[in-house]
Amino acid sequence: METKIKTYRATFNNGPEGNESFKYDFEAENGDEAWKKVYAHPCAKKYPQYTDVTLEEVTDGPKVIGICYNYHDHHLKRDYQGYTFIKANDEKQAVEFYNRNIKGKHFYQPWPDKFDDEGNCEYGSVKETYYAGFDGYKYDATK
């Protein structure tokens, strides 16, 4: 019986307060082999630069892609990061959907002293993408 090769993604992060990450996609027969490859990767030896690592199996077909994006609050005149989830076949399709349908639009962030019918916040550029580990999503790029 032939073993099916699976695609995995390892993401190295520099802790909960950090903003730097490195993604590494590779193939392995199973999770144990995948973890061996993760620990053999040069990033695994760069502690304390990278303090956390996650390992995900990348499945075939549509999946939920998490999008971390920058946005600007025109009321507070500050930049922030937000997250949304898009069902897509891959990260490229999710980013293209975001850029075509969401980026540049306004949304409402409730502040007690300010109400703007158009929305006081503006969606900005994509900062990072990742495979979400759940089935919930707000947008569907596969339709």
Per the domain annotation, does 1 fall within a domain? no
70 and 25 co-located in one domain: no
Measured between alpha carbons, how far is residue 84 from residues 8, 26, 27, 69, 132 in Å?
22, 26, 27, 8, 10
Q: What pLDDT is stored for residue 117 in this prediction?
A: 60
What is the residue range of 127's domain? 63-140
133 and 88 co-located in one domain: yes
78 and 48 co-located in one domain: no
98 and 129 co-located in one domain: yes
Q: What pLDDT is stored for residue 95 in this prediction?
A: 96
Q: What pLDDT is stored for residue 66 in this prediction?
A: 92
Please list the rounded mean pLDDT of every run of 10 residues in the chain (143 residues). 83 71 89 92 78 84 92 86 94 96 85 62 90 88 93
**Which sign, positive or negative, has the C-alpha torsion 14, 16, 20, 21?**
positive
Distance CA 63, CA 135 (A): 8
89 and 102 co-located in one domain: yes
23 and 44 co-located in one domain: yes
Q: What pLDDT is stored for residue 91 in this prediction?
A: 92
Q: What pLDDT is stored for residue 18 in this prediction?
A: 61
pTM of the model: 0.75
Q: What pLDDT is stored for residue 74 in this prediction?
A: 81
117 and 75 co-located in one domain: yes
77 and 105 co-located in one domain: yes
